[in-house]
Amino acid sequence: MAKETKTNLPLNNDGVSPGQESILNQDHINYDPIKIYSERAPYTKESKPHEVFGPKNQAIVETLIKQWAKSYDTLIGLGKKEEASLFETGIKKAHTQLSHLSNLKDEWMTMRGGGMRGKSTVSNITDTRWPDEFFTEKGDIYIAPDGFEVFAHVPSLGGPPKPIEDIALDWESKGDGEGRYMAAIQDMQEAGARGDKIPPFDVDYFTSNLLEEYWPQALSDKWGGTYALHTIMPEMVRENNGTIEGLNLSIEAFNPENDLRLHRYYSDRLRKAFNPEYAGTFEELEQENKQQTKENLPKDDLLINRVNADILSDRTYKAIKHARTHGKI
């Protein structure tokens, strides 16, 4: 009798039949470990705060809590209520901090793996390595025996353990900065298309207010399909004699409180949306000079030297150019 072939074998964890080649280990397929962990982590809303950081950390916390509870009972039995209260306070303090740490994990997983349509809402300005490692159970929890302070540590990344209140200090979400900026771009385009003589709002005022709130995101994230640094960096290298050596490329070097490059870039994009002929970048200014040469117009040195365009307001620049054109200066 012929052996019956089973065609309805159960699928394995990769979603394929046992005899079928899995695609999970193929090099050309990329999987987000955060999303995978978020989907497969064996925790529920009923899980206790100390249970969501992996079996190793759960065992460490439970061992310490049992020791403190035993010390409390012993001291109470000896009539030392004041000393015993220290352990009672310590247990409550540790629980509060671990609850906060658990909430931070939920928040990070939402930012990285949840969000709208499963997309990350974390800004590129945020270094995701530490929270990614710790919140996927690759870190350690340490509770100081003297002050009952909870610390989190990722040994593979080095650095000292972090107190709970420091973990989210450098987290930045993308926010609505791009949406507000692109709405402003659209307003400028519509005003230009109508033939308005002046922009519908004060460009510098709008840009300053937006960057005051969102300059880290404006520096690192893609706004309107492009990165600001793709334009800013070549200009920085050009101004630095064609080399990157010696340039201050720290994040704070682009803070609008100390530097005008971000302001210039985003305000120029707005002005160009209103008037496509507006020349803001070095390349555009250079092209304008070439066009003047073709038309046998005198070369305007102000254009070539206008690399630091932020020194002059756009209105002042145009006034000077107009005066030169008409021989007034």
Tens of pLDDT, residue by residue over 64-81, are 999 999 999 999 999 999
Best CA proximity match to 235, nearest among 226, 244, 225:
244
Residue with tokens 């033939």: 195
Give residue 3's pLDDT band: very low, low, confident or very high (50, 70, 90): very low
Residue written as tokens 């340490």? 142
* Statement: residue 302 has pLDDT above 70: no
pLDDT at 283 over 60: no
User: How high does pLDDT run on average in the chain?
Assistant: 81
Lowest mean pLDDT among 86-95, 253-262, 268-277, 284-293: 284-293
Quick one: DSSP state of residue 134? I
Q: What is the pLDDT of residue 13?
A: 44
pLDDT at 296: 54
- CB-based contact 218:228 (threshold 8 Å): yes
Measured distance CA(69)–CA(90) in Å, rounded: 10
**Distance in angstroms (rounded) separating the CA atoms of residues 19 and 22:** 9
Q: Mapping DSSP to helix (H, G, I), strand (E, B) and coil, where does residue 122 land?
A: strand
pLDDT at 19 over 80: no
Q: Render pLDDT for 189-245 as a digit per residue (tens, 0 to 9).
A: 999 999 999 999 999 999 999 999 999 999 999 999 999 999 999 999 999 999 999
Between CA 119 and CA 156 the distance in angstroms is 27
* 274 close to 229: Cβ distance less than 8 angstroms: no
pLDDT for residue 290: 54
φ/ψ (deg, to 5) at 122: -80, 130
Task: Please tell me the predicted confidence (pLDDT) of residue 226.
Answer: 94
List beta partners, residue 142.
151
- State percent of the chain over pLDDT 70: 74
* Tens of pLDDT, residues 82-121: 999 999 999 999 999 999 999 999 999 989 875 445 688 9
Cα 211 to Cα 259: distance, rounded to the nearest angstrom: 12
Count of CB atoms within 10 A of residue 170's CB?
A: 13
User: What mean pLDDT comes out for the span 122-144?
Assistant: 94
Map tokens 């870039």 to a residue: 265
Q: Which of 84, 193, 90 is nearest to 146 (CA)?
A: 90
CA-to-CA distance for 154 and 157, rounded, in angstroms? 6
Alpha helices in 195-252 (DSSP H): 203-220, 229-239
Short-list 132, 130, 152, 155, CA closest to 141: 152
Q: Taking 50 as the threshold, does the pLDDT of residue 131 lie above it?
A: yes
Domain boundaries, the chain: 33-166, 177-325
pLDDT of 30 = 61
Q: Indicate whether 327 pLDDT > 60.
A: no
